């Protein structure tokens, strides 16, 4: 999906919501466990309930890889089921030497129809370059994350500024706003004005709204651009809105609340 196509979907649906499919078989409703593929059955129901209210889905691969081949199969079925009208993110946080990253890119962009992969920049340009070589595909680089551990490295002084600032400044030159996004956590709202100065034209994938307590209003006010420029990911608050048989209806209700709020903030 190109940037133009993504922006068109955002304004068509009046939404910049991305639903995180961090599906844990130990948490999903018990009645699904009798299904041949409980995880896919859960995901399918969530997608059917939310697809008109969101523009993307983020699949955290760890929740699928943990179950081995069966989990990987559920992930493949899920990404194919989502279809082409939604932005599909493999939240895999890959990043290795060039020839290894090339194989990771091939796995998510050729073997599976993901539009984007989250990547870690620690090993430098050659670890990210392979993800930028596919037309219509995106690398989503970890910039300033929403976890407490962000203070261990990302928010430390390095070379006259904060380390995350150096990452954004450097990585911005490796790609363009057409194929490069940054992960910026909603729990770091005080940094958004500064981040927009460093990477003014890039989209941001913003986790941390919902269960982690980030404010949609605050983030939208500080990070929104003329063509939106942000994808707000909500995982647990949507998919686990109910642990009973009405889980899909509950997911839709919460997604609709985010959708209605987002309509107020879009330019």
| Residues sharing a CB contact under 8 Å with residue 24, sequence separation 6 or more, in sequence order | 63
- Closest residue by Cα to residue 183 from 150, 213, 225: 150
Q: What's the 3-state SS for 202-227? A: CEEEECCECCCCECHHHHHHHHCECC
Residue 223 to residue 119: CA distance in whole angstroms: 21
- Closest residue by Cα to residue 147 from 91, 200, 185, 104: 185
Q: Tokens representing 141?
A: 């680089």
DSSP codes joined into one string, 175-200:
S-TTTEEEEE-TT-GGGHHHHHHHST
CB 199 within 8 A of CB 182: yes
Catalytic residues, by residue number, are: 93
Measured CA distances, 75 to 21, 24, 38, 56, 104 (Å): 10, 12, 12, 15, 15
109 C-beta neighbours (distance < 10 Å), count: 22
Phi, psi of 52 (to 5 degrees): -85, -5
CB 143 within 8 A of CB 186: no
């Amino acid at each position: 999906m190109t940037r133009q196509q993504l922006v068109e979907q955002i304004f068509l649906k009046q939404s910049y919501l991305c639903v995180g499919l961090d599906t844990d078989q130990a948490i999903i409703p018990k009645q699904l466990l009798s299904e041949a593929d409980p995880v896919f059955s859960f995901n399918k129901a969530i997608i059917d309930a939310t697809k008109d209210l969101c523009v993307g889905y983020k699949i955290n691969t760890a929740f699928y890889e943990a179950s081995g081949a069966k989990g990987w199969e559920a992930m493949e079925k899920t990404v194919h089921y989502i279809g082409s009208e939604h932005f599909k993110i493999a939240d895999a946080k890959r990043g290795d030497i060039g020839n290894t990253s090339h194989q990771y890119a091939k796995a998510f962009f050729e073997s599976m129809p993901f539009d984007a992969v989250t990547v870690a920049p620690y090993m430098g340009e050659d670890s990210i370059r392979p993800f930028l070589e596919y037309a219509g595909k995106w690398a989503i680089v970890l910039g300033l994350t929403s976890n407490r551990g962000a203070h261990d490295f990302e928010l430390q002084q390095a070379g006259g500024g904060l380390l995350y600032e150096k990452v954004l400044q450097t990585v911005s030159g490796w790609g363009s706003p057409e194929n490069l996004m940054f992960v910026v956590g909603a729990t770091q709202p005080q940094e958004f004005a500064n981040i927009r100065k460093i990477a003014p034209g890039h989209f941001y994938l913003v986790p941390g709204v919902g269960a982690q307590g980030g404010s949609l209003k605050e983030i939208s006010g500080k990070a929104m651009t003329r063509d939106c420029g942000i994808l707000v990911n909500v995982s647990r608050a949507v998919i686990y809105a109910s642990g009973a048989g009405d889980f899909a209806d509950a997911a839709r209700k919460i997604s609709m609340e985010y959708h209605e709020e987002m309509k107020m903030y879009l330019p």
